[in-house]
Amino acid sequence: MPVSRERFSIKVYDPGDAQATIDIFLRAIREIASRDYNPAQIAAWAKIDDTQVWGQYRASRPTWLAMDGPTPIGFTDLKADGCLDMMFVDPDYQGRGVASLLLATVEQAARKQGLSRIFTEASLTARPFFERNGFLVVTTQQVQKRGQTFINFLMEKSLR
Ligand SMILES: CC(C)(COP(=O)(O)OP(=O)(O)OC[C@H]1O[C@@H](n2cnc3c(N)ncnc32)[C@H](O)[C@@H]1OP(=O)(O)O)[C@@H](O)C(=O)NCCC(=O)NCCS
């Protein structure tokens, strides 16, 4: 049974969704995360080197899309070790519970797999969202991406 809240629903990723996830990823960074990172950082982050490789990554772990009817409006995933790698919501749907719905889906899957915790590397932009949802900051870190240095936060949530 698909999980749903309000009128949004959850759909399991399939290969035909690659471009939709790319569009959401790029817009969420350029229009939302750009509040917290400078233009050079945004340009380095909002880049897809190879769409095929992107699709392979999305298909290599459980990935879910949030849907408004037939329209993809956000996506997330869960790697086997408990890493939530991606959490991006369409700029037109911010603050409407889309990421919360996606996170609930991840947590449900993680519990089913017997994981005791999930963790993520949260952007400055996403940290308040994850804190609001029970994640704690483990450490602040600086990571390199295409020659730019980014501050982000290793955060985790216990599922016990
Ligand atoms: C972070 C992000 C995924 C949140 O998505 P969203 O759908 O707007 O989040 P929700 O509406 O489900 O928010 C859930 C809760 O977190 C809070 N929250 C979300 N973003 C917040 C922010 N920037 N500051 C404070 N609180 C925030 C909401 O107020 C809400 O609290 P409530 O339940 O009391 O109303 C979205 O802003 C995004 O795509 N950001 C840009 C991309 C990015 O940085 N992704 C993360 C990469 S690690």
Q: Is residue 140 exposed (0-12), middle (13-18) or buried (19+ Cβ within 10 Å)?
A: exposed
pLDDT at 78: 98
Q: Token digits for 98? A: 């889309």
In the chain, where are the structural domains located? 4-116
Do 157 and 133 contact (CB within 8 A), yes or no? yes
Tell me yes or no: is domain 4-116 CATH 3.40.630.30.
yes
**pLDDT tens readout for residues 42-87:** 999 999 999 999 999 999 999 999 999 999 999 999 999 999 999 9
The structure tokens listed for 109 are 């899957």
Reported pTM: 0.94
C-alpha of residue 27 to centroid of ligand 1, in Å: 15
Q: What is the mean pLDDT of residues 97-115?
A: 98
Q: What angle do CA 27, 99, 147 make, to 5 degrees?
A: 45
Residue 5 has pLDDT above 80, yes or no: no
The rounded distance, in Å, linking the Cα atoms of 47 and 23 is 11
Q: From the CB of 151, is ligand 1 less than 6 Å away?
A: no
Identify whether the C-beta of residue 87 lies closer than 8 Å to the C-beta of residue 98: no
pLDDT given at position 136: 98
Could you read off the pLDDT of 23-37 as tens digits, one per residue?
A: 999 999 999 999 999
DSSP H/E element including 132: helix 127-132
Instruction: Name the band, by pLDDT with cuts 50, 70 and 90, for residue 2.
Output: low
- Residue 94, ligand 1, Cβ within 6 A: yes
Q: What is the mean pLDDT of the chain?
A: 96
- pLDDT of residue 7 exceeding 90, the answer is no
pLDDT-derived band at 4, boundaries 50, 70, 90: very low
- Model confidence at 99, pLDDT cuts 50, 70, 90, reads very high
Find the 91 Cα to ligand 1 centroid distance in Å: 11
How many A from CA of 34 to the centre of ligand 1?
14
For the CA of 125, the nearest atom of ligand 1: 44
pLDDT at 6 over 80: no
pLDDT at 139 over 70: yes
Q: What is the pLDDT of residues 111-120, one digit of tens each?
A: 999 999 999 9
Residue 3, pLDDT above cutoff 80: no
Taking the centre of ligand 1 as the mean of its atom positions, its distance from the CA of residue 116, in whole angstroms, is 24
